[in-house]
Amino acid sequence: MTRFLAATTLGWSALDVIVDPTLNPNDPLSLIAISRVHNDVSKETDMDRAAVAADLEEQGYSQEAIMVAMGFKFPRKLFRLRAFRELPEAIFAIAAQHPHKVSAAFADILKSAVAELGADKATLLAEELIANNLSKENLIGRIKTERRKIADKPMRAIKERARLIHFSDTQAGDLRLMRYPNSDEKRVKLDILLPKAVAKNLFAEIENLIQRMNAE
């Protein structure tokens, strides 16, 4: 199609071609194999190859037959091409806009980022990949950094019980009982605004309660 469009632009009415009569036009594997030979001189991307592999798989061809037709010696390459199909739409769109940068290896790394960090964070990393022209090693390093941030982030407390506190018919604060996921411990939080004398008396009462609790 590229050669046809170029010829049309130049005003040519015909193109010289070489026809191989041994090729079966109804055999996709043969056509892919010969196309691969001719495309070695052009910049075919992994996204192009992924689309071809997906089409052949949908037609029911075996993994071995597809590998032979596409010139792959090891199945790892084919597995990586499948990563494009498993990317969220937002990341796939970024890859489609930059196919010469986002190879199958990058797609595979971004797929793992989605699994580890979630789609939103992985999308931001895909944008960073393009903006900063990250290498595969740099991208993996960024994923590790984000993973450490998640691991070091304290778990968010969940409010289990709460009671509003009123003083002189005005809401003065609240008392909360908080729990943390995967923990048997709970936290009591008191936040209240009182006149000075009342606040001192309440503080003294709480101190007495804590002393009795320590004595038990």
State what percent of residues in the chain have pLDDT above 90. 46
Does residue 174 sit in helix, strand or coil?
Answer: strand
Domain boundaries, the chain: 1-86, 87-153, 158-215
Average pLDDT estimate for 95-117: 94
- Looking at residue 27, its pLDDT comes to 60
- By CB atoms closer than 10 A (0-12, 13-18, 19+), residue 69 is buried
Structure tokens at 98: 């930059």
Phi, psi of 81 (to 5 degrees): -60, -35
CA distances to 65, 167, 202 from 199, rounded to whole Å, are: 81, 11, 5
Q: What is the pLDDT of residues 122-178, one digit of tens each?
A: 999 999 999 999 999 999 999 999 988 887 766 677 888 999 999 888 899 999 999
Average pLDDT estimate for 60-86: 89
Residues 81, 85, 89, 93, CA torsion sign: positive
Q: What is the pLDDT of residues 52-66, one digit of tens each?
A: 888 888 888 889 988
Intra-chain end-to-end CA distance of the chain, in Å: 86
- Looking at residue 37, its pLDDT comes to 44
